Amino acid sequence: MENNFSIYNTLTRTKQLFKPLHEGKVGMYVCGPTVYGDGHLGHARPAITFDVLFRYLRHLGYKVRYVRNITDVGHLEHDADDGEDKIAKKARLEQLEPMEVVQHYLTRYHKAMEALNVLPPSIEPHASGHIIEQIEYIKKILESGYAYISDGSVYFDVPKFNRDHPYGKLSGRNVDELLSNTRELDGQDQKHHPADFALWKKAAPEHIMHWPSPWSEGFPGWHLECSTMGEKYLGESFDIHGGGMDLMFPHHECEIAQSVAHNGHDTVRYWMHNNMITINGKKMGKSLGNFITLDEFFNGTHPLLEQPYSPMTIRFFILQAHYRGTVDFSNEALKASEKALGRMLEGYRRLQELTPSESSTIDVSDIRRKCYEAMDDDMNTPMVIANLFDALRLVNQVKDGHATATQADIDELKTVFDTFLVDILGVRTEMAGDSAEALKPFEGAVELLLDVRAKAKASKDWATSDLIRDRLAALGFTVKDTKDGAEWSLS
């Protein structure tokens, strides 16, 4: 299967032509959420970025196995090796069973993803459902000599590993500096070196999530689940591993070290990282008071929000930037995206109503190629959107009677929009069922007024015709007369 799809590989720091390991098939793994709180904008970006990748690979004809994990154990506060488990802490504070916390936030995460039109992955494995596999994985790393047991816990030996294999090659961290860190290990520390990380942690008596293992009653380290589950479902070598840039170090660096220690070679062929979202120029954080959940965006209930923003506005906003660029949220930026999306959907609707002519005065031959070129260039979604807006200008020229298009050209435009806007960018062109139903009588009433106005015009009753147009305009409706009759839109 031939393709021209290039993706930026964080590991090689170059754009590379994508060639899957197995003809016609792609294995991809993306780090999913730690389910101890509501999803926020920072969760939406990787989910949407890798959803577009998933959609595009499928569009190119690949059979894709997309694994996105659920972290429900072992993710300690501050991503560290000490401190409380994020889920156990939430469970303690809310007096719930840890799995109640997981189920509650997982259900809400799925709902938010569905609202954003993010397709479900092929497999969504839970860390807590793969404890046996993780224990077996640790045993093999211990056999390789790159891990040691310390008071019931097992740690990965980073300095020893680094003598044989480069540690830090993904993030480009200065490992010598990291390893020469002479910070005194405090007396409590069971690690031989501060850079070492936990593969298995012995549970403190108050720790509520623990499992039996050869070393202690305890729980797996956070980094381990992704190496274990990636290999279980995608094999010892697979094509793509994705995640947010914030996971590059230490999480993904540790994943690489674990799989090299386990298998003797790298597992992942293409590493892809999406950039972060800032809010009014600042990093998002619970302590900074600028932490806005997805539900708050959808309902407009956070004090920083001037209005609600629909899930499709959020999706469009994220896709208007290249996934490797930073995105800054502001009300102005989101309102601009809302307007742009509105113009796009209005154009899509007008496209469905075009009347074909005998000949074309527009040229649609290049649009499809340009959209593919943009996607092939490391998923340049802002360029795809720019090409679609160029195509919309043609749609509007034809609709407004300034140009003509044959049936074949109209069909080509429809194919381009259905392929790129709907299938690949995943933009929903229909309103959600409920709101569309609720708006039907309202739309009917506007249509009725326009029918009355058409009758008035036909009998040259200009006063009535103008009155209806002006009163609708005062309410925010724009009425436009076209050769197929009057059209309205809400400005």
> Can you say which residues are annotated as belonging to the binding site for ATP?
286
Count of beta carbons in the 10 Å neighbourhood of residue 305: 16
- Residue 224 beta carbon to Zn ion: minimum distance, rounded to whole angstroms: 10
- Residue 189 beta carbon to Zn ion: minimum distance, rounded to whole angstroms: 25
Site for Zn ion in 25-54 (CB under 5 A): 31
Nearest to 315 by CA among 429, 436, 439, 433: 429
Question: Judged by CB, which is closer to Zn ion: 35, or 319?
Answer: 35
Q: Work out whether 385 is an interface residue with Zn ion (CB under 5 A).
A: no
- Residue 251 beta carbon to Zn ion: minimum distance, rounded to whole angstroms: 6
Interface with Zn ion by CB under 5 A: which range of 154-162, 222-230, 308-316, 410-418? 222-230
Interface with Zn ion by CB under 5 A: which range of 23-31, 194-202, 323-331, 427-435? 23-31
Scanning the structure block, which residue is given the tokens 């393709």?
3
Question: Judged by CB, which is closer to Zn ion: 49, or 465?
Answer: 49
Tell me the β-bridge partners of 224: none
Nearest to 240 by CA among 266, 275, 260, 270: 270
Nearest to 319 by CA among 385, 369, 264: 385
Interface with Zn ion by CB under 5 A: which range of 141-149, 183-191, 219-227, 372-380? 219-227
Binding residues are: 31, 226, 251, 255, 286
Question: Judged by CB, which is closer to Zn ion: 224, or 371?
Answer: 224
Question: Judged by CB, which is closer to Zn ion: 91, or 226?
Answer: 226
Question: Judged by CB, which is closer to Zn ion: 70, or 178?
Answer: 70
Interface with Zn ion by CB under 5 A: which range of 9-17, 24-32, 49-57, 126-134? 24-32
Tokens for 415? 């194919």
Site for Zn ion in 224-243 (CB under 5 A): 226
Question: Judged by CB, which is closer to Zn ion: 226, or 421?
Answer: 226
- Residue 30 beta carbon to Zn ion: minimum distance, rounded to whole angstroms: 8
Question: Judged by CB, which is closer to Zn ion: 44, or 394?
Answer: 44
Angle between helices 86-94 and 98-115 (to 10 degrees): 110
Angle between helices 407-416 and 331-352 (to 10 degrees): 150
How far is residue 427 CA from its own chain's centroid? Answer: 13
Q: Rounded CA gap, 177 and 169, in Å?
A: 14
Residues 179-218: x where in contact with Zn ion by CB under 5 A, - otherwise, as a string: ----------------------------------------
CA torsion sign for 184, 187, 188, 191 is positive
List, in sequence order, every beta strand (DSSP E) within 226-320. Answer: 238-244, 268-274, 277-279, 282-283
**H or E element in which residue 192 lies:** none
Site for Zn ion in 350-369 (CB under 5 A): none
- Residue 70 beta carbon to Zn ion: minimum distance, rounded to whole angstroms: 11
Nearest to 396 by CA among 444, 446, 449, 343: 343
The amino acid that residue 322 corresponds to is H
Tokens for 336? 């601009």
Binding residues for Zn(2+) are: 31, 226, 251, 255
Residues that bind Zn ion (CB under 5 A): 31, 226
